[in-house]
Structure 1
């Protein structure tokens, strides 16, 4: 594996998420990004009163430990939890719960998923939980903002590195892998842009069609056809929706919304189930992929580095 990576282009970093209070325009932004060759050794989590109050990260390089600043609040009563990672353990996903006080959102719980274990949840699971999975070896760090008024972490996002051209984020709904014939993929090529999305939906998302691509999945029963037409200066910067379960136990996508640099289109379908949400920097979108069977089972995102 190391030899393969050495022959690839240098990794570039992209920002994915955030959940909670947006980081743009705030004076309390924080950022933790690991240096090349460093490994995440532990995370110290402060939590109290339904709020993740603080985060501190420790990395290791050639046997030497480095401790980051404490991000968030140091005041007030709080519980402290410590997650220590094994030498062969890597974070491959996080789960968060977002709360709301007045106009400010904040992290009320946080869970770290690795290739070996699930650590958490830490804090209070007060609402539906969002999740973000990624490929092993992609994690570089976290970023977000902190709120003095709330007294803790207002929002969190993830730095991920891209080897080569494209990386995959997701899926939401039915997990990969599956039989190859059930996997669908729409990927932009060259300078092409996404200009139109056609959504066939009822109580579930029946099918999606991008630009003039083939329809993904079959039409099932009574449905509504909606079209999202993007302006020439409009591009997708995020998706959100619900993953539901049919009476048969099959996991499907029940609703979906598309966020752009100008507005949010949707929701389309039945807003019922387990929520998912992910955003990315403008210019990073490269396509979608997922699974389909009798229904539209899952969706993930292709992203590319912009720097």
Structure 2
């Protein structure tokens, strides 16, 4: 865990061994606005939009590959991400993959994204946020086709 401008960085979960695969943001997030996920058997890609402490909106590019289906989650004005959980492990193409990825908000649950039987010897991760904090962003590691690791930024309140 790292503390960066009142934001806690948790993770990553999965493999970070791919050369030049790190994906991260440079401006600390304050509020998550939307998340776009590409998925098939595993999490192929993620992109998201967030606001910073000055109210400016930032959108990441797509991190990962172009495979699978695409789903965009647009958070309502009073909706906050209160947890994420899923599985990671060997996918069969030389690196870890992420599946069964689920996003929990104070209003509903989105997912799971990716098929749990696609990972060999899966390991679980579960990041619940307590005391009115929220997940406000992501960082990831990817190869050319899919995400191999994922982590979150948490804004404590």
Cα 1:304–1:232, aligned 2, differ >3 Å: closer, same or farther? closer
Q: Compute the displacement of 1:274 (Å).
A: 2.4
Q: Is the 8 A contact 2:42 2:97 kept in 1?
A: yes
Query: Taking structure 2 as the reference length, what is the TM-score of the superposition?
Result: 0.77
Unaligned runs of 5+ in 1: 1-133, 136-161
Q: Compute the displacement of 1:164 (Å).
A: 4.9
Q: Does 1:305 pair with 2:131?
A: no
Q: Is the 8 A contact 1:245 1:252 kept in 2?
A: yes
Q: Does 1:255 pair with 2:106?
A: no
Cα 1:190–1:197, aligned 2, differ >3 Å: closer, same or farther? closer
2:48 alignment counterpart: 210
Q: Compute the displacement of 1:261 (Å).
A: 0.9
Unaligned runs of 5+ in 2: 50-58
CA RMSD of aligned residues (A): 2.4
CA–CA distance in 2 between the matches of 1:190 and 1:228? 17
CA–CA distance in 1 between the matches of 2:87 and 2:95? 14
After TM superposition, the structure 1 stretch with the greater mean CA deviation from structure 2, 227-236 or 266-275, is 266-275
Higher Rg of the two aligned structures: 1
Provide, for residues 252-278 of structure 1, a one-character-per-residue CA deviation record: whole Å limited to 9, x for no partner. Answer: 112311011111111011123322111
Q: Compute the displacement of 1:178 (Å).
A: 6.2
| Higher relative contact order, chain-length normalized (CA < 8 Å, sep 6+) | 2
Q: How many equivalent residue pairs?
A: 142
Query: Taking structure 1 as the reference length, what is the TM-score of the superposition?
Result: 0.42
Counterparts in 2 of 1:153-302, with a 5 A limit? 162=3, 164-175=5-16, 179=19, 181-186=20-25, 189=28, 193-211=31-49, 212-220=59-67, 223-272=68-117, 273-281=122-130, 282-294=132-144, 295-302=146-153
Q: Is the 8 A contact 2:32 2:135 kept in 1?
A: no
CA–CA distance in 1 between the matches of 2:82 and 2:26? 15
Q: Compute the displacement of 1:163 (Å).
A: 6.9
Q: Is the 8 A contact 2:98 2:147 kept in 1?
A: yes
CA–CA distance in 1 between the matches of 2:26 and 2:82? 15
CA–CA distance in 1 between the matches of 2:26 and 2:80? 15
Q: Compute the displacement of 1:251 (Å).
A: 0.8
